[in-house]
Amino acid sequence: MTHGRRSLRLAFACGAAVALAGCSMPNRALTEDASAPADRPAGDASPRPGVIERENWSFGGVKGQVIRTEHYRLFTTEKNPVIVSRLSDFLEYALSHYRTAIVDLPSPEIKLDTYLMDNRGQWATLTKALMGEQAETLTKIQRGGFASRGIGVYYDLGLFDTLAIAAHEGWHQYTQRTFRDPLPIWLEEGLATYMEGHRWSGSAPTFRPWANLERFDQLRKAHAGGKVMPLDELLQSQPAGLIQAVGDQQLLTYYAQVWALAHFLAEGADGRHRVELQRLLRDASEGKVRDALTARVGARGAANALSTRVGPAVFDAYFGDPTSEIASEYRAFIERLVASGGRSAVAAGRSPLSAEGRQAVGTGASGR
């Protein structure tokens, strides 16, 4: 399925999106001990892109390089110098976006290892080396990448899609390494899709969470076909089960719906859920979600919610009963998004719900 120059992308977070058990740590022959990033003032999330150091690296006899930036180590066999140069800076800009887009969040304490392979064959071989038994599931991804234990593993999908995958999986890398309590899968994946949207202005990306026609078009298609899941069903779903049970279209609809859910919690219903979204993100980063859940559903219920990472417990604790009025609000939010003119606003990277977005609709922007 193609939308303009963008094509179907599938992204998985081991232990997050697909909820795989016992994900392997990377083979130490492939990596080295990650060093802590340079000291920064507390709370400073301003991006400082730029290569600190390069050195030779190889994988399976293929020559490559290791590129170190402030917060990342990029292991790559990529032959396209434009993609390599853009990605090394992009990772730092994306990290700044993760830490400031909704609420101030902490910096990772160690560098985040990222692999960019030149082609899918190299990526599949690396995935098998890194992931052991889990590689069988992950290598079913026909076009995409994954993150596990704070490590991102991608291959060349062309400049735009490679960076969009890196933005999505980079969120998983960040939370896997930084958050003390895991987010529920619906929010982890929702925010990963929220972080995908970006544009380039000169040599720097500008992140615009609404600038995501692929997710919007899939949402509109699902809505037109009566395939939008109710909120309580969405909270119970997880990507691995969807792709194994019903295939790529339902999986892509899941991603489109959690993308819409992240926007709904960030700005829908006149913004009244945003404060609780901020609180949930802070609590997860500080390890306080268990306390909030225990107060609501008891110690056993809290343990179950944190281990399975699906279901309504976290949503109910922070936002309210997902089968009550908020479910209707979410459905109405989707109705407004996919209404006539919404695509033009999204193509312009603006909210279809805002005055600025409505102004963009009036310009007739198409985004194709």
Which of 29-38, 239-248, 319-328 comes out lowest in average pLDDT? 29-38
The C-alpha angle with vertex 132 and arms to 165 and 182, in degrees rounded to 5, equals 55
Average pLDDT rounded to a whole number, residues 216-223: 97
**Whether pLDDT at 243 is above 60:** no
pLDDT number for residue 11: 56
**Residues 162 and 87 sit within 8 Å (Cβ to Cβ):** yes
> Helices (H), strands (E): how many in the chain?
15, 11
Q: What is the pLDDT of residues 67-124, one digit of tens each?
A: 999 999 999 999 999 999 999 999 999 999 999 999 999 999 999 999 999 999 999 9
Quickly count: other Cβ atoms within 10 Å of residue 42's Cβ. 7
The proportion of the chain whose per-residue pLDDT surpasses 90, expressed as a percent, equals 73
pLDDT of 8 reads 44
Residues 6+ apart with CB under 8 A from 29: none
Closest alpha carbon to 164 in 295, 326, 8? 8
Q: Taking phi first (over 0 means left), then psi (-120 to 50 degrees means alpha), and beta for anything else, what does residue 119 get?
A: beta
Residue 137's pLDDT is 86
Residue 6 pLDDT exceeds 80? no
Instruction: Give the C-alpha separation, 364 to 345, whole Å.
Output: 9
DSSP SS3 for 275: helix
131: left (phi over 0), alpha (psi -120 to 50) or beta: alpha
Q: Which of 5-19, 233-247, 323-337 has the lowest mean pLDDT?
A: 5-19
Strand 144-148 and strand 112-117: pairing? unpaired
CATH number for the domain running over 2-179 = 3.40.30
Q: How large is the average pLDDT for residues 350-359?
A: 71
| Annotated domain spans of the chain | 2-179, 213-363
pLDDT of 49 strictly over 50:
yes
- pLDDT score of 41 more than 80: no
Contact between 272 and 367 under an 8 Å Cβ cutoff? The reply is no
Q: Is residue 323 over pLDDT 70?
A: yes
On average, the pLDDT of the chain sits at 86
Please state which of the ranges 40-49, 91-100, 151-160, 292-301 shows the lowest mean pLDDT.
Answer: 40-49
Query: For the CA atoms of the chain, what is the radius of gyration?
Result: 20
Structure tokens at 297: 């559903």
Quote the DSSP letter at residue 212.
-
The C-alpha angle 147, 152, 156, rounded to 5 degrees, equals 115
Query: What's the token pair of residue 326?
Result: 């908020």
Predicted pLDDT of residue 356: 58
Note whether 235 and 310 are within 8 A (CB).
yes
pLDDT of residue 239: 83
Q: What is the pLDDT of residue 250?
A: 86
Residue 317 clears pLDDT 70, i.e. is over it: yes
Q: How far is 313 from 329, CA to CA, in rounded Å?
A: 19
How large is the average pLDDT for residues 217-242?
92
Q: Tell me, what's the pLDDT at 18?
A: 33
pLDDT at 305: 96
Q: What is the pLDDT of residue 248?
A: 73
